[in-house]
Structure 1
């Protein structure tokens, strides 16, 4: 099993660290927005199988083009937050700069069809790469703003979080000589073995018509018959005998299944045995009080 120090990891991500400082110091983004933008960029590099997107952004683009690019990234993030069903509006956010000179491709329709997979990928970068390679920069900025002295291995919440679709954003104040043991790609961390998306990210919320009793087996069969062995668990509230359950939650094994089922829509209607209707939408966990 390979190992690497925090300091060496920071050296590998020197362009990303420069980009974070540009977002904070040149473009005056706050910490929360800066981290989400750079996590989006890291995810974008992964999607394009190109490790040098951020390098080209810093070294090739003129300052005005860079500002336009970052504005467009922010627009894409806002799009991921939206619940719009109409794909016709997608043409209005097509960003030519993604094709040239950065040589990137973001198929807008694909992003629309894979919204929750994209959100999960960005969140993964926020929790892996960003927490490891930016901790000294983030701690320094927070110390300057709040006059707080952090101690090694302290877990720190980014001010302004939770983010609507990414939840709380934390980082740990790692000493530069801390050693990570790795058995995956230390440059991207996106394929970290053992990383599992939050169950909420993989969950659908179902509602049933009043008077049409739907069982747990019927719910499970609805998805496994059409989408294969995809269901991890079905959550149905306990009810008294002969009472009807009006809603349920279904957790899938993979977040990609959510996009396959919803097909870019916010609400999908199914008809099951006996003509019963089931409505499915993405489950949203709103309890951010912890």
Structure 2
């Protein structure tokens, strides 16, 4: 069995840096959750040892890095190309990582991958490892097994997060039948892929009236552009007569990364197949 105490040991450095954000630097707890979720997600994406490196820095520099992470988060809220300064807007983060590919444009071009990745880290890591720190810095009393109320949640991009205060001996993941989960846990923040919903990987396509686009043309176009395994399914407009032209479709992809490749930061992308235009945007479910 993996206990909360063991999780705290594994995430010792993450907890130390988070504590500095919300106590020494007195940064907003809800925003700090998102900031450290961004850093953990970047480590998962291959920007290794980011938090370990910053744990050795001064409080002033950690504060600068947090502000840069917030700037990256702000890029996710707009469809407009960010106003990137000459230093990329993530200058100190890129210096710390010794990477030239880290800038505000990284978040712009990987918008949907970042949103889903940060959301997963927020709910599967941050919601578990800071449950003792948050009530202290927020000055509230929360009983065991009760959720901690967090301002700014539900968040417009990342939704809600349930952070429940647990006893230190609380068991998070049982070993029996959960070998894969244990490997993922101790390789944190590698997260279960099934946390990704179908809607997260779905594009909404529209077609020009008078130019019939078939299901095979849609699948053929996007497999040619993004690989044979890029497309999971194509669902054409339903409930129309056999001789009517579909005007829209849902394109279900196998990877959230392909969504970002298709849009490349834009709200709408335009494609062409056999002389016919296809417009693509991120699918958003509308419950009636």
For 1:154-169, list aligned pairs within 5 A.
Answer: 154=146, 158-169=150-161
CA distance in 1, matches of 2:130, 2:286: 28
Q: Secondary structure at the match of 1:183?
A: helix
Which residue matches 1:54? 51
Q: Any gaps of 5 or more consecutive residues in structure 2?
A: 176-180
Which residue matches 1:31? 29
CA distance in 1, matches of 2:76, 2:98: 19
Deviations 1:176-230 (A, max 9, x none): 2233234324344332345441222212121222233333333323212332222
Q: Secondary structure at the match of 1:59?
A: coil
Q: Is the 8 A contact 2:209 2:247 kept in 1?
A: yes
Which residue, out of 102, 115, 135, partners 1:107?
Answer: 102
Deviations 1:203-262 (A, max 9, x none): 212122223333333332321233222222334442331444333222211111112222
What is the count of residue pairs matched by the alignment? 277
Report the CA distance between 1:175 and its aligned residue: 3.0
CA distance in 2, matches of 1:17, 1:97: 21
For 1:65-76, list aligned pairs within 5 A.
Answer: 65-76=61-72
Q: Is the 8 A contact 1:128 1:189 kept in 2?
A: no
Q: Is the 8 A contact 1:262 1:268 kept in 2?
A: yes
1:119 pairs with 2:118? no
Which residue matches 2:267? 266
Report the CA distance between 1:92 and its aligned residue: 6.0
CA distance in 1, matches of 2:219, 2:149: 38
CA distance in 1, matches of 2:220, 2:149: 41
CA distance in 1, matches of 2:204, 2:149: 29
Which residue matches 1:218? 217
Q: Is the 8 A contact 1:120 1:201 kept in 2?
A: yes
Q: Cα 1:230–1:90, aligned 2, differ >3 Å: closer, same or farther?
A: farther
Which residue matches 2:17? 19
Which residue, out of 163, 174, 177, partners 2:169?
Answer: 177
Q: Cα 1:8–1:286, aligned 2, differ >3 Å: closer, same or farther?
A: farther
Which residue matches 1:233? 233
CA distance in 2, matches of 1:119, 1:192: 14
Q: Is the 8 A contact 1:270 1:277 kept in 2?
A: yes
Q: Secondary structure at the match of 2:220?
A: helix
Which residue matches 2:250? 249
Q: Secondary structure at the match of 1:234?
A: strand
Q: Is the 8 A contact 1:80 1:119 kept in 2?
A: yes
Report the CA distance between 1:263 and its aligned residue: 3.0
Q: Over the residues paired in the alignment, what is the CA RMSD in angstroms?
A: 3.0
Which residue, out of 89, 92, 107, partners 1:97?
Answer: 92
Q: Any gaps of 5 or more consecutive residues in structure 1?
A: none
Q: Is the 8 A contact 1:48 1:104 kept in 2?
A: no
Q: Cα 1:266–1:36, aligned 2, differ >3 Å: closer, same or farther?
A: same
Q: Cα 1:40–1:233, aligned 2, differ >3 Å: closer, same or farther?
A: same
For 1:197-212, list aligned pairs within 5 A.
Answer: 197-212=196-211
